[in-house]
Amino acid sequence: SVTSIGDGAFQNCAGLKFVTIGNSVTSIGKSAFSDCRGLTSVTNFANTPQEIEWHVFYNVDKSTCVLYVPAGSISAYQSADKWKSFADILPIGAQPVDVTTTTVTPSETTADIAWPTITGATTYELIIRDTDGNIVCTLIFDAQGHLTQIAFAAPARTNAPEQTQAAGFSFTVTGLNSGTTYDYTLTAKDAAGNVLDTQTGTFTTDGLTGIEDIPLSIDLSAPRKVLIDGQLYIILPDNTRYNLQGSEVK
């Protein structure tokens, strides 16, 4: 998993609309997101704010760009140097939706997971495993859909709930592998930790299209970084285009 974001990694990416920082990231380099004037939200899953320099978000309008963080870490970000400059620091949470049963809508590398609220439930624990039983992602939400704990998780993208009472919640988990089968378990518990309901199921992400593996002999000298339709690509000197997963895009 990614543990650091390098100096100037996304500098001057004017078309970048949102950023998701995984909970495994412990350092963010100088000017990593400077001059990303189109940013509307930054979602940071780290429970403890990373130490950053003032120009990491230079020329990002922090009066309109919302910072989403784990619900239990809001006060830490509000007092953390540089992070506290964001005007709106809100809890990461699932979106309220009207559902009566658990559903999963996968794409190539994401899965929208929706579940109904359960009377008396104070927490919802979502665990995603691969077919070998290895935990890929553990997410725990409170009764209002706020994300309170995260472990072993791929980056996820969402925003804060718009209401505190809902028929159900929907959360988008990203960073999954394409063409891969996963098992999920969603457990609702009351304040005493008693299990009120458990939902289980399986889903398979879509396979990637239009790409090939990078040849082992490829020359990676002097690559260029470009943003096309909101997607970041690496362009090599011969104008071959690769996505950030290391596959050639035709």
So what's the pLDDT on residue 29?
Answer: 93
The better pLDDT of the pair 244, 16 is held by 16
Please state, in angstroms and rounded to a whole number, the distance separating the CA atoms of residues 111 and 172: 6
Rounded mean pLDDT of 157-164? 46
Q: Is the pLDDT of residue 83 over 80?
A: yes
Q: Is the pLDDT of residue 213 over 50?
A: no
Rounded mean pLDDT of 112-128? 94
So what's the pLDDT on residue 215?
Answer: 46
Delineate the domains of the chain, giving CATH numbers in brackets: 4-91 (3.80.10.10), 95-204 (2.60.40.2550), 213-249 (no CATH)
Q: Is the pLDDT of residue 202 over 90?
A: yes
Q: Is the pLDDT of residue 89 over 60?
A: yes
The better pLDDT of the pair 144, 62 is held by 62
Give the confidence band of 231 by pLDDT, cuts at 50, 70, 90.
Answer: low
Rounded mean pLDDT of 151-169? 57
> Of 107-121, 125-139, 215-229, which gets the smallest average pLDDT?
215-229
So what's the pLDDT on residue 24?
Answer: 82
So what's the pLDDT on residue 163?
Answer: 40
Rounded mean pLDDT of 177-186? 92
- The structure's pTM equals 0.64
Tell me, letter by letter, the H, E, C secondary structure of the chain. Answer: CCCEECCCCCCCCCCCCEEEECCCCCEECCCCCCCCCCCCEEEECCCCCCCCCHHHHCCCCCCCCEEEECHHHHHHHHHCCCHHHCCCEEECECEEECCCCCEEEECCCCEEEEEECCCCCCEEEEEEEECCCCEEEEEEEECCCEEEEEECCCCEECCCCCCCCCCEEEEEECCCCCCCEEEEEEEEECCCCCEEEEEEEEEECCCCCCEEECCCCCCCCCCEEEEECCEEEEECCCCCEEECCCEEEC
Rounded mean pLDDT of 159-171? 63
Please state, in angstroms and rounded to a whole number, the distance separating the CA atoms of residues 8 and 119: 48
